[in-house]
Structure formats: structure tokens, C-alpha cells
Amino acid sequence: MDFLQLAVKTGIYALMAGTLVFALGVVTLKNLFHAALSLAAVLIGTAALYLAFHAEFMAAVQILLYVGAVITVIIFAVMLTEHIAERSILQHNKQSLPALLGVLALLVLIGKVLLKTPWPVNPSTLDARVSVSDLGVALMGTYVFPFEVISILLIGALIGAVVIARKGSHP
């Protein structure tokens, strides 16, 4: 194990830790705008993690789609409803404590299971690189049906979103 590897390893762990911190920020920050920004940070962190997994295309999609599109939409929404998102208003409801306890219990439980499970590792795919063309072939071949379903869903959602948000449909 050379230094570089160690550095990379440390970097990844640091990345994960940072991402978790931002994630905490997402759910705790009072200002929704800030929360949205931390979400962006989380997403970027995740994208970086993808790079470490040699999933470059996924990283690109993550950045483009999530950070580029979704976050933008969210921020728009936040700004459109902004005057309510003031500091003075309570941003969390009264069930924080049970929720927290539940989540912790979940973490402990699943974590225990995760650690106990002997994860099978297939050495042949461990270092396999997935090229974009491989993805394309898989999408258009094996998974063409779900792909099409997703596209229909997208269209539907698009139309639906337009219809719902259209002014005048609700007086």
C-alpha cells in the first residue's frame, strides 16, 4: 500500500464524512434556501463518490441532472414561496424526538445487519469499467421496456406538472 493509495482512501473517507455533514445540514438548516444549497453539496459529493467507483457517466449525469436541474427547480420553488420561509417560523414539527429515536434505531439495526452480512465480492467485475456505449446497449437492449415506461412516465409527469401548476386551474 503506497502513499497515493492511502491518500486516495483518506480522501474518499473525508468526502463521505463531508457529504454526511452537508446532509445533516439539509435536514436541520432553518433557512430552506441554505438547505437547498447543502443538498447541492451533498449531490456533488455523491457525484465525486461515483467517480471513485469508476462510474464517470453517472457522475456526469448526477451533476447535470440533479445539481443542474432539480436543485434549480427547488430553489425556484423556495423563492416563489419565500416570505413564508422566514427564520421566525418554526421549520420543524413536534415529532423530532420520536423521529430521531426511530432513525437511530434504524441505523443501529441495519448497520448491525450490514456488518454481519458476508458480502460476496465478485473479483471479475471489481475492476470492470463500464463504458457509455455499454450503458447505451443495455438501455436499448435488455432494459428497453423499463426505459420506455420511464419515458412515458416522464411525459406524463411533465404534462401533469404543467396542468397542476397552471394558473387559473385553481381559483
Partner 1 sequence: MVTADWIYLVPLFPLMAFVANLLWGARFLKNKAAWVSIAASVAACAVALPICVKVFGGARFSNEFVWLTIGSGTLRFGYLVDPLSASLLSMVTIVGTLIQIYAAGYMAGDPRFSRFFAYVSLFMFAMLTLTIANNFILFFMAWEIMGLCSYLLIGFYFEKTSAAKAGFKAFLTTRVGDVGFLIGMLTLFVTLGTLDFSEINSLLTGTSQARLGMNTGLLAMSALCIFCGTIGKSAQFPLHVWLPDAMEGPTPVSALIHAATMVAAGVFLIARSFVIFMAVPGTMPVVTTIGCVTAFMAAFIALTQTDIKRILAYSTISQLGYMVTALGMQGLGAGTFHLITHAFFKALLFLAAGSVIHGTHVQDIRQMGGLFKKMPHTALTFIIASLALAGVPPLSGFWSKDEILLTAFASGHSLVFWTLLLTAFMTAFYMFRLVFMTFFGKARDPKVHAHESPALMTLPLWALAVGAILLGIPGSPMTHHWFQRFLAHAIHHPEYHPSTFVMTCSVVAAISGIALAGIIYLKNIHRAEAIAKTFRPLYQLSFNKFYFDEIYSRYIIRPFNAVGAIFFKFDVSIIDGAVNGAGTGSLWIGAVKNWIDQHIVDGLVNFMGTFTRLLNSIVKRLQTGFVQNYLLIAFLSFLVFIIWELKLI
Partner 2 sequence: MNLIPLSHILIFSLALFGIGIYGVLTRRNIIGILISIELILNAANINLIAFSQTTSLSPETGQVFALFVIAIAAITAAVGLAIVLALYRARKTVFADEVHLLKW
CB of 102 to partner 1, least distance (A): 5
How far is Cα 39 from Cα 37, in angstroms, rounded to an integer? Answer: 5
Residue 112 site contact among partner 2, partner 1, none (CB < 5 to 8 Å, cut-off depends on kind) = partner 1
> Can you tell me which of 13, 81, 91, 112 binds partner 1, judged by CB under 8 A?
112
Q: How far is CA 72 from CA 37, 40, 78, 81, in A?
A: 10, 10, 10, 14
Query: What DSSP designation does 129 have?
Result: P
Cell 486516495, located at residue: 8
Near partner 2 in 64-123, by CB under 8 A: 65-66, 69-70, 73-74, 76-78, 80-81, 84-85, 90-93, 95-96, 99-100, 102-104, 106-107, 110-111, 114-115, 117, 119-122
Residue 32 CB neighbour total at 10 angstroms:
19
- Site of interaction with partner 1 (CB under 8 A): 93, 95, 98-99, 102, 105-106, 109, 112-113
